[in-house]
Structure 1
Amino acid sequence: MTGRPFPTPSNPRAALALPVLIVSAAVLGLAPILVRFADTGAAAAGFWRFAFALPLLLVLTRRGKDGAGGVGRPTKWMGLAALFFVLDLSFWHYSIAMTSVANATVLTNLTPVVVTLAAWLLLRERPKGLFVVALAVAVAGALAMSMGADGRQGSNPRLGDVFALVTALWYAGYFLVVKQARGESSAGRIMLWSTALGAPLLLAVAVVLREPLWPASTGGWAACAGLGLVHVAGQGGVAWSLGRLPAALTSVTVLLQPVVAAILGWILFAEHMTAPQLAGGAAVLAGVVLAQWSSAKKKGAAAEAAAPSP
């Protein structure tokens, strides 16, 4: 199969996509912290995340005025996005309960390995050599953060790490499905319907596993409400950016999330970061910057090639 290079965004708002993506990734770093503070089961915390997010998503989506905006109807891509996201949250929330925040978040964000290969084969987004180098640096940093973590953290670190690794597969599926859905629908509509369809599925998982459904404290309710805000601002920003940036570049930039989560876990839960973790975090950031520079360089080269000859 012959691939084509990453497309160059033509929408004027594309210039905002990268800053929005970076901020969204940082916001998503709050999610594992809030899951720890929610006084519910792991899947139940995901259900409340969706439940609190739905009213905000409905208001934002109803304001859409373009052809792809508004509430509309769910599509097969939105249904698949809901399924992948339910699997993602279910496995990830359990990994957060079993292992350290750093491990759970970093291993989940090995998604770029899967996304880059799948985007190359399925979406024909062929990465440049420099981007592959950036990907390798970022993933190596993520692995260093995981391998250098304190193994005594968490109730069952090995099983939690396995759950986090499996989550990376579901997260990759979510990325690619949303990328396809953005070709025909707005980010708001995709977020609304994937959340609405996913909420009852998460509730069913929580009931089947006999989890505590109701937060037991005011702090627990506040954490669940915070998860709803993170869902709208963080995941919504990622979905919006996916319509304007290559899927592989987006997935690498989201590696900022584990860095933020690890720092917060260090501050709030005394999950001290070791020297390898700190070095790994620096490598992740370096990989993200290199990936962004590679994308900007390619965009400039494409513009120069398209310019008329004197």
Structure 2
Amino acid sequence: MTPRGDAAYTGVMPTSRLTALLVLVAAASVLGLAPILVRLTETGPAAAGLWRLMFALPLLTILAARSGAAGEGGFGHPSPWMLLAGLFFALDMSFWHYGLVLTSVANATVLCNLTPVVVTGFAWLVLKERPRNLFLLALVLAMAGAAAMALGASSEGAARDRTLLGDMLSLSVTVWYASYFLAIQRARRAATAQKVMLWSTAAGIPLMLLAALIMREQIVPLGAAGWAACIGLGLVHVAGQGGVAWALGRLPAALTAVTILVQPVVAGLLGWRIFGETLTPIQLAGGAVVLAAVVLAQWSSRRKTGAEAEAAAPVVSAKADL
């Protein structure tokens, strides 16, 4: 069942495709602001995720109402898959935000964006959806560039041990986000994207609050700057993920998976500019490889149209999806 208002990818005209790509790149760039804002919230890591969802919820409610989702018997009730998505997203944000505290912005953002490998493997081995060889090459290059950005970060002595723990927490996010994405995919079989986003976000709020309380975090921001960062996280959640969700209706999911890796490049540059985090030559080279892989993935996807593209593109995404 295809929910009302969501177009399946069946091949698009070049102009429409270009527009979707531009929206996708813009959305990924917006999401690159998220780790920066988390650092500025003046709250604990889980509390930052709580405020992100809290400030996003009113906007998602408005968007769901305007999209016509409210016409389906009001906003209805959340399905089990929507609730599971909320659980997995809460785990995703908790681990990712704690990783951000312990490692660099570039490392945390890169490692959590390895989710496409997990979901591509699932789609290939379980769903028997094998991607094209050229796309696989682009994916390998993107992952290699991402690894170079993470491994190229410099740290010494005790700081290296601290960074390793943060890296491990960030890497674990791939499991939670892959589970979140698969739950979203199942929920989307019977509901619009706006409704799924609304309920999964609402379900995540009490879970994030519980995590913040268990970890005895600072929940309320200490000043105006902290509140501004929390509000910014809510806007990033809606604009970034909303843009990716819109683009997914017009582009193959496989292409989206690679293109979204623009996010760690943007986050790394912002971390360097705002927090003075060092970008080594290896990290800069890795970022260039990621961008080249995005171009290659786009070229690979352009060679498919219609049913061929839909049949061959694996169900895969990265940290910014939906």
- Normalised by the length of structure 1, the TM-score is 0.88
1:22 and 2:25 matched: yes
Q: How far, CA to CA, are the matches of 1:80 and 1:53 in structure 2?
A: 19
Contact 1:115 1:248 in 2 (8 A): no
SS in 2 for 1:63: helix
| 1:107-146 to 2 correspondences below 5 Å | 107-146=111-150
1:219 to 225, 244, 263: 225
1:51 and 2:54 matched: yes
Against the structure 1 CA distance between its residues 17 and 115, is the aligned structure 2 distance closer, same or farther, given a 3 Å change threshold? farther
Aligned-residue RMSD, C-alpha: 2.4
| 1:138-287 to 2 correspondences below 5 Å | 138-152=142-156, 156-287=162-293
Query: Which shifted more, 155-164 or 116-125?
Result: 116-125
Q: Report how far residue 168 of structure 1 moved.
A: 1.6
Q: Report how far residue 300 of structure 1 moved.
A: 7.3
**Percentage identity across paired residues of the two chains:** 60
Q: Report how far residue 191 of structure 1 moved.
A: 1.1
Name 2:315's counterpart in structure 1: none
SS in 2 for 1:125: coil
Against the structure 1 CA distance between its residues 134 and 181, is the aligned structure 2 distance closer, same or farther, given a 3 Å change threshold? same
Name 2:305's counterpart in structure 1: 299
Q: How far, CA to CA, are the matches of 1:291 and 1:265 in structure 2?
A: 26
Segments of structure 2 that go 5 or more residues without pairing to the other structure are 1-7, 310-322
Contact 2:252 2:301 in 1 (8 A): no
Contact 1:44 1:212 in 2 (8 A): yes
Post-superposition CA distance 1:165-217 (Å, at most 9, x none): 00122122222332333333222111111100000000000001111110001
Residue 296 of structure 2 aligns to which amino acid in structure 1? L
Q: Report how far residue 111 of structure 1 moved.
A: 1.2
Q: How far, CA to CA, are the matches of 1:192 and 1:240 in structure 2?
A: 15
Residue 54 of structure 1 aligns to which amino acid in structure 2? L
Q: Report how far residue 10 of structure 1 moved.
A: 5.6
Q: How far, CA to CA, are the matches of 2:177 and 2:236 in structure 1?
A: 16
Residue 298 of structure 1 aligns to which amino acid in structure 2? K
Q: How far, CA to CA, are the matches of 2:179 and 2:86 in structure 1?
A: 11
Q: Report how far residue 77 of structure 1 moved.
A: 2.1
Aligned length, in residue pairs: 297
Post-superposition CA distance 1:65-112 (Å, at most 9, x none): 278897332122211211111111000000000000010101111111
